[in-house]
Amino acid sequence: MDMRTVAGECLEMWRNPYPHLARLRDEGERPVAFFCSYTPEEILHAAGLTPVRLMGAVRTITHADAHLQAYCCSLARTDLDMALAGELDFLEGAVFAQTCDTMMRLSDIWRRNTSFPFHGDLVLPIRMGEEISLPFLVEEVRRFRKQVEDYLGQRIWDDALEESIHVYNRNRRLADRLYRMRREKPGVLDGLMATACLVAGFWMRREKHNELLHQIMEDAEAGEAGDTERLPLLVSGSVCATPDLYELLAELDAEVVDDDLCCGHRYFDAYVDESISPEEAIARRLWQRVNCPAKHQCLEDRAERLLRQVGDSGARGVVFFLQSFCEPHLFDIPYLRNRLQEELGVPSLVLESELQSFSRGQLRTRLQAFLETIRGV
Amino acid sequence: MSAEEHREERDKEDKERRRIKSGAAMRDLMTKYYMEAKAAEGTDRHIAWITSGGPVEPLIAFGVIPVYPENHGAMCGAAHMNVELCEVAESRGFSRDLCSYARGDIGSAITRGGPIGGLPRPTFLVCCNNICNTVFKWYEELSRFFDVPLFIFDTPFVRGDLPSHHLDYARRQMEEYISFLERITGREYDEARFVEVAAKSLYASGLWAEVLACNQHRPAPMTCFDAFILMAPIVTLRGTQEVVDFYQGLLKEMRERVEQGIGILPSEKYRLLWDNIPVWYEMRNLGRLFMELEACLVADTYTSAWTFQEVETEDPLEAMAAIYTEVYLNINLERMADKIESLARRFEVDGMVMHSNRSCKPYSLGQYDLAKEFTRRTGKPALIIEADHTDSRWYNRAEVEGRIRDFVENLLAESVTA
C-alpha cells in the first residue's frame, strides 16, 4: 500500500474510530481506554493490554445527562454517554489520569455506573518538573503498575516493561520524524495527513503503528519536496476529536505546520530513559515532558515554548481549538494571545468546540474570516 | 395600642429574640481585619493572598497578613457587585465559563472595584489545590499580574485512605513552605510559635464544629445561611486569639438559644441539608423563601469543611499536611457520600438541596450520583438547583424558587403519606 492509501485509512479512522475499535477484541486484543496523554501506556502494553484513546465523538447526549452537568466538557460527556449506551462494551476497562477537576470526578462517576472489569486511577502532581514532586510521581507509577498486576493476577516483569518502553520510544522518534518532515519536505504529506497518521496510533497496538509510520516515512522521504503557497498556521489546544478543523483549514488553503495539542506534539514529547529503572524512567518522562495547561508551569513557561514553536515553524497565525468549559486551557488564553501578538505580531483565533452540537459551517466561517485578516484581504 | 399594633410589637420582639447577636461581633472582627490589611499596603508588613482551603497557620506564625480572594469574592457577590467585575476580566479575554470568583477577583485587581475598593496588593501568593485545580491557574495569573512570588501547596487527590506517599509529598511541601516564608520574611521558623498557632487553629475549628452541632437541636438555633456568614473568621483568621474568642462567644450564644428553645425560624416544619457554596447574591431571597416554607437549612457540606479532624502525630508539620490534604473536596465520591449521610443522620434532615454550581466543578460534578446515593442510603429526597456562586447572569430566580416550592410541598405530601 502506498503512503496516500495508508494515510487515507488513518484519516477514515480519525473520522470515526469506533467501528475499528469494536473489532479489536475479535482480533485478540484486550483494549483498555485512556483519555489523557499522561497515561503510562507502557505499563498497560507490557501487561498485554492494548491502550486505546477515547477522544469523544460527535453525538447527541442521551445517557450522560443523568450524571454530568451541561457545563462540563463534551469529551467527558460524550465518552461517558457512549459507555452508558453500551457502545464501548469492547473495552476491558479504562484508566483515569488526573489532570483536571472534570477527569478527577469522571473517574468515580464512570466506575459507579459502568461494569468494565478494570478501572485504573493515576493521581498526578500539578507541580511537574520540580524536584519535590518526582518521588511522589515515581510512587504513583509504581502503585499504578501494582493496580494492573493485581487486576491481572500476575506480575508485569521488568524485561517486558523495558521492551514496551523501547517500542513506545521508537514510536516517539518516528512521530517526531513525521512532524519534522512536514517542514523539511513541504507538499509531500500535509498537516491533515501527518496528524491523521499520528492520531490513528491511538487505536492500534504500538508495534503496528510503528510499522505504519515507518512505511509512511520511507515513502515520504523518497518523495520530492514541492512548493506550497498555503498559509502556515499552528493549532493549539487539547484534542481534535475529528479531522474537521484540519480539513477545513486545508480547504481554505492553510497548512498546519505544527501543533501544541495533547493528541499531537505534546503526546510524543520526551523519551523514557532506557538506562534506569523502568518505573522511575516512566515517571521522569511524564514529569519533564512539555506541560499540559492543567499542570503548573515551572520548568519551562508554556508561553515561551509556544512562541518558540511558532517562530521555528514559521506559522503566521495560531488557532486555539478548545473544548468549551475547559478551565485549564481557557485560563491561559489571554496571556498566550497577548504574548503572541506583542512579541511576534502573530494573530490568533479562539474556537470552542462542543461535540454534542458540533457545527462545521460555523467553524468554517470563523476560520475564513481569520485567514482573510492574516492575508490582508 | 390597637390589637394590630400589639401584634406588630410582639412580632418585632420575637424577631429581636431570634436575631443572632454575635453577628455584630463578627462584623466588627472582619471590618477591623480588612481595615488592618488595607492599611498594611505599602508598609513593610507582608500581605499574602491565599486560597480558602490553604494552610494559613504558617502565615499567622510568621506575622504575615492573610487575604482571601474567595472571601472577598463572596462579599462582592453578596453586594451584587461581582458581575461588573467579571465583565472587566471578560473584556480582557477571560471566558465566561471560568470560575466567577476568579473572574471577579481579576476584574477587581485591575479596577480596584468592589465594596471595599479592592484588596490590598499582595507581596506574595499561596495557593493550595485541595479545593480545586482552578485556583492554581487563577493564582498563576495573579502572580503575573502583580509580579510577585507564588507558592503552590499541591495536595494530590485522595481516593479511599490517605496513602503514605501522598502524605510524604504534602509533608515535604510544608517544609518547603516554611523555607519559602523564611526567605520572604527574613524571619526564622519558630516551631513553638507554629505549634501555638496550629493549636489555636484546631481549637477554633473545634469550637466552630460545636457551634454547627447546636443545629442538631430542634428547633435549630440558626440556619446554614447564618453559618455561611459566621464562617468568615474561621476561614480567614484561624490561628489567632480573636477567632478563638469570637467562636467561644458564638458557641455560648448558640447554647443559650438551645437551652431556651429559641429557633431561628418562627416555626420549623422541615429540616434540610444544603450542598455546595452558597448562591451569594441570592442569600436574602432564598433565606426568605425557606423561612416562608417553614424549612430550616440545618446543616451543609460547605461550612463543615472548616471543622478539621485532629490528627495524632508528634510532628506538627505532618499533622497540618494530613489535615489539608484530606479536605471534603479532595476526596472521592464514596467518601463524600459518607459525609453527607452522616450529616443527614446527625441533623435528622428531611431532604437535601444541592446547588449545582457552574463555577465549581469539583463540588458539582458527581452531585447527580451523590443525590441518588443520598436517597438510597437515607430514604430522603434530594433537589438539585442550577446557579453560580457569584455570577447572577446564570441564575433563573423564578425557576429555582418554583422548584424549591415544589420540593418542599412534596415533602409535606410525603410526610402525610408516611
ipTM value for the complex = 0.96
pTM metric for this prediction? 0.96
Which of the residue ranges A21-35, A68-82, A291-305, B319-333 would you say has the lowest mean pLDDT?
A291-305
Integer-rounded Cα radius of gyration of chain A: 20
- pLDDT of residue B59 exceeding 70, the answer is yes
Q: In one letter, which amino acid is B408?
A: V
- All residues of chain B having their beta carbon less than 8 Å from the beta carbon of residue A114 are none
Calculate the CA dihedral of residues A142, A148, A154, A155 and round it to 10 degrees: -30
Taking an 8 Å cut-off on Cβ atoms, the answer to whether A108 and B133 are in contact is no
Give pLDDT tens digits for B231-278: 999 998 899 999 999 999 999 999 999 999 999 999 999 999 999 999
Residues 6+ apart with CB under 8 A from B51: B68, B69, B70, B126, B127, B128, B129, B131, B135, B139
Selecting from B97, B133, B163 the residue whose C-beta is nearest the C-beta of A101 gives B133
Residue A149 CB contacts under 8 Å (≥ 6 apart), including other chains:
A47, A155, A156
CB–CB of B136 and A296 under 8 A? Answer: yes
- Count of A–B CB contacts within 8 Å? 125
Give A31-59 pLDDT, tens digit per residue. 999 999 999 999 999 999 999 999 999 99
From A139, which residue of chain B is nearest by alpha-carbon distance?
B165
The answer to whether residue A304 neighbours chain B at the CB level (below 8 Å) is: no
Q: Is the pLDDT of residue A228 over 90?
A: no
d(C-alpha B89, C-alpha B51), whole Å: 19
Q: What angle do CA B380, B385, B388 make, to 5 degrees?
A: 140
Q: CB under 8 Å to B245, separation ≥6 — which residues?
A: none
Asked whether the beta carbons of A309 and A284 are under 8 A apart, the reply is no
- Out of B98, B136, B358, name the one closest to residue A126 (CB): B136
List CB contacts (< 8 A) between B159 and chain A: 107, 121, 123
- B-facing residues of A in 62-91 (CB < 8 A) are 66-69, 71-72
- Say yes or no: A122 contacts chain B, CB-CB below 8 A: no
Say if residue B297's pLDDT is above 60.
yes
Q: Is A131 near chain B, with CB under 8 Å?
A: no
| A 140-199 residues inside an 8 A Cβ radius of B | 140, 143
Q: Which of A244-253, B30-39, B310-319 shows the lowest mean pLDDT across its residues?
A: B310-319
- CA dist B193 to A224, B46, B56, B180, B197, Å? 73, 18, 14, 17, 6
Residues of chain A positioned with their CB less than 8 A from the CB of B157: 98, 104, 123
Residue A300 has pLDDT above 90, yes or no: no
Cell 488595607 belongs to B38
Chain B contact present for A293, CB below 8 A = yes
What gap in Å lies between CA B84 and CA B75, rounded to an integer? 14
Query: Looking at the partner chain, which of B141, B169, B332 has a beta carbon nearest the beta carbon of A331?
Result: B141
Q: Each residue of B378-399: pLDDT tens digit?
A: 999 999 999 999 999 999 999 9
Where does the pLDDT of residue B314 fall: very low under 50, low under 70, confident under 90, or very high at 90 and above? confident
Q: Do B166 and A121 touch (CB under 8 A)?
A: no
